[in-house]
Amino acid sequence: MRLTTLFIVCLLSLNVFGQKTESVNGNNFYLISENANEKTIIFLHGGVNNPYFDQPADKISIDYIVENNQEFLTQASTNGFNIIIPITNDSLNWLENPKQTFIELKKIVAKSSLDSQEIYIGGFSDGGTGSFKIFYQNPAYFKGLIVFNGYPQHKNFYKTVDYEKIENKKVLFFSTYKDKVIPYEFLLTEYCLQKKSNPNTFIYLSSGDHSFANYTKEDIDILFDILSGKNQNKSTEPIQGFIKNDKLVILYPFRKKIVRKFGFGNDTYQKNRKQQKIYGK
């Protein structure tokens, strides 16, 4: 009964905040907005090659796209963020063609009259990887980046990134402890590189595996505390953990098995060992 009530509340919330679909040049989008909101998050879903997205757009459920994580959508609206969720198709493959995707995203932002707002880009899994690519190819356009369980190393893209160009953006790397698809260490390494020039770079781990549904209300609260400015850092020291207002909340381990299995991240692993001795567990 309680779950049913919560589901109804979520649906009512989305109706209040004006959920609708938009189409630009054959590309389809979900738009959740309210006139009073002054910021926008573009959220890219995972599974760009999922056959589910081959069907007509009106058959594609927003619940499926966000893996029934209505908390994310509701919290975004209540914290003053509009949400744009594109639905992948041939011209919106953000994993393989982020440059063209960016062009199409700008069109929907302009059509929705949101181009004067602060624009953030984020996504889960393939969407997290795509948002990473689009943000670092076009950093001037975006106020910040939110990567959930993404893979910055896809086709060695991370090697093209000049992290020193980012100094005053909110860059958030969220992952889960038990993600066996994309271990969190792949984000932890990029967090360390970006943190050196951009103090408001964050790494945060939730429980669970490779699923956006694993992010709870508490996790989403932490996300929007950062985006709303309740959690701000000044230090650029790349401590490998979650930092709140320049204070270490929890230090994350860099597992040696990741270095052994993937031949990746040894430098970050060695620094992690030193930090474990300094800051404790």
Half-sphere exposure of residue 186: CA atoms within 13 angstroms, side-chain side: 25
HEC profile of 2-38: HHHHHHHHHHHHHHHCCEEEEEECCEEEEEECCCCCC
Which pLDDT score, from 0 to 100, does residue 88 have? 87
* CA 147 to mean position of chain CA atoms: 3
Confidence of residue 205 (pLDDT cuts 50, 70, 90): very high
Which CATH superfamily includes the segment(s) 2-279?
A: Alpha/Beta hydrolase fold, catalytic domain (3.40.50.1820)
Q: In whole numbers, what is the pLDDT of the chain averaged over residues?
A: 92
Half-sphere exposure of residue 32: CA atoms within 13 angstroms, side-chain side: 25
Beta bridge partners of 86: 29
Could you tell me if 186 and 252 are in contact, meaning their C-beta atoms sit under 8 angstroms apart? no
Which pLDDT score, from 0 to 100, does residue 18 have? 63
SS3 65: helix
Site of tokens 């670092």:
136
Could you tell me if 241 and 253 are in contact, meaning their C-beta atoms sit under 8 angstroms apart? no
> For residue 211, is pLDDT > 70?
yes
Rg (CA), the chain: 18
Residues of the chain with pLDDT > 70, as a percent, come to 93
Give every CB contact of residue 141 below 8 A, 6+ residues apart in sequence: 102, 106, 119
Confidence of residue 281 (pLDDT cuts 50, 70, 90): low
The predicted-structure confidence for 98-153, as pLDDT tens digits, reads as follows 999 999 999 999 999 998 899 999 999 999 999 999 999 999 999 999 999 999 99
Report CA-CA distances (Å) from 214 to 103, 149, 182, 185, 191.
31, 11, 15, 18, 21
> For residue 17, is pLDDT > 80?
no
Q: What are the start-end ranges of the H helices in 96-216?
A: 98-111, 126-137, 185-195
Whole-angstrom distance between the N-terminal and C-terminal Cα of the chain?
40
Which pLDDT score, from 0 to 100, does residue 21 have? 86
- Kindly report the pTM of this predicted structure: 0.92
The predicted-structure confidence for 223-278, as pLDDT tens digits, reads as follows 999 999 999 999 999 999 999 999 999 999 999 999 999 999 999 999 999 999 99
